[in-house]
Amino acid sequence: MRISFNRRAGFIAACTALAFGLGAVGAIAQDVVQQRKDLMKSYGAAMKVIGDAVKAGGTLDAAAIADKAAIVRNNATKIVALFPAGSTSAGALPAIWEKPDEFKDWAMKLGTAAAALDQAARDNKLGDGKALVGAVGGTCVGCHKVFQKPAS
Amino acid sequence: MALTIGGLAWFVATTAGAAPDPARGEYVFHMSGCASCHTAEGGAFLAGGRRLMTPFGAFLVPNITPDRATGIGGWSEADLVRAMTEGVSPTGGHYYPSFPYTSYTRMRRSDIADLKAYLDTVPAVRNAVGPHEMGFPFSVRLGNFFWKLLFFSPGEFVPDPAHDDEWNRGAYLVNGPGHCGECHTPRNILGGLDRDRALAGATLPEGDGGKVPSLRGLDWSVEDFVWAFETGLLPDGDALGSSMADVITENTSKLTAGDRRAIAVYLKSLPKPAAD
């Protein structure tokens, strides 16, 4: 009887732990989706400031551009860890989990392009900025093409 | 601005009435977005083989390299003009409108002649592409003849004298070679383009049927359009993707600054369609 009770208690305890565990995993998955959305938005916000400056023409504020380019440079590869197995979401194509090396490669290309922009800005060698910013944009577009699900 | 218009006038002047030129043809090739469909993912350049999955069936995109057996190496310039402007093959068959002759019909015949001169220079690749995989009744190719009677209005682009050269150049690029409306204009149940709602946004005719945004009445500056065509970056800092990614990298980013601006000026002028 005593043994059986302990078994039952153990079973309930295990179920409880499992339930909390699943809940925690679910919460983490939700959390990671929000985190990657926020990270993507931070790239976008930086690119908007840079894009607006280049579109306006004239003398570019190199310090401001370096500041924003550094945000993208420093955070570019952080995106990879925010797509753990099973963390599907509406905007992500399965290719992210099927071709992880290519996904990582794009993240590194983003970092490289952003670093080149950052360096040019700090060296005051931006020119009109179009080619350097275009190279960053090219990595965004290239990665979106393969891994981002279009709105439906 | 004056320089842009001057450059444009020069470009137009030098392209009119000259012998077909492969270098100009390569530029027409970028205007026309041929590679997006005719080069399969991981396949040889322009050798075809891509499957366009549509509600009507699977279209297998043909090889347009100069290979005589499996490509278009045996075609004359007149054959290409007829294919692109009338949707008729050298043997007299009617093409499905998955081949956007509905837009290419607006192209200048000299542009198509240049394009032919360029296509003759690309490496010939032997790649036999099978027939389209269509269910009945769409498998009946003669149906395309009737489809054309209903939905195809052939004819070269006619500039609108109410607008300047830049606007007209943009209108030409968008509605002719650029064939933007093939995705951005909604289609009726038979796949005909709804011209009353030109460029007003649609469902992607191919693949998983994603949403294609409207290009009319956007709250974008001319510079925003130009920037997006050049870099793929949108006014809010987000980036284009999906099938528009290739349009940016293979087409709009390879145009002259003047042409990007002309497209921008034209699109910027389009009002929101009347509410429905």
Structural domains in chain A, CATH included, are: 30-147 (1.20.120.10)
Please say whether the beta carbons of B26 and B35 come within 8 A: no
Q: Report CB contact under 8 Å: B233, A140.
A: yes
Model-wide pTM > 0.80: yes
Q: What percent of chain A has pLDDT over 90?
A: 74
Residues B76-103 have a mean pLDDT of 97
Q: Report the residue of B242, B254, B256 to disrupt the A interface, i.e. the one with the largest count of A CBs within 10 Å.
A: B242
Residues B36-65 have a mean pLDDT of 95
Predicted pLDDT at B141: 85
Predicted pLDDT at A25: 55
Which residues in chain B are closer than 8 Å to A140, comparing Cβ atoms? 232-233, 239
Radius of gyration of chain A (CA): 22
Digit-coded pLDDT (tens) for A27-44: 566 799 999 999 999 999
Angle formed by the axes of helices A130-147 and A100-122, nearest 10°? 170
Predicted pLDDT at A12: 63
Find out whether the peptide bond into B137 is cis, omega within 30 degrees of 0.
Answer: yes
Q: Is the pLDDT of residue B222 over 60?
A: yes
- Banded pLDDT at B210 (limits 50, 70, 90): confident
Predicted pLDDT at B64: 98
Candidate from B209, B235, B240 with C-beta closest to A141: B240
Token pair, residue B256, equals 């002259």
Minimal Cα distance from B222: which residue of A? A55
Q: Report CB contact under 8 Å: B231, A137.
A: yes
More confident: B138 or A71: A71
Q: Report CB contact under 8 Å: B249, A141.
A: yes
Token pair, residue B96, equals 């499905």
Minimal Cα distance from B231: which residue of A? A134
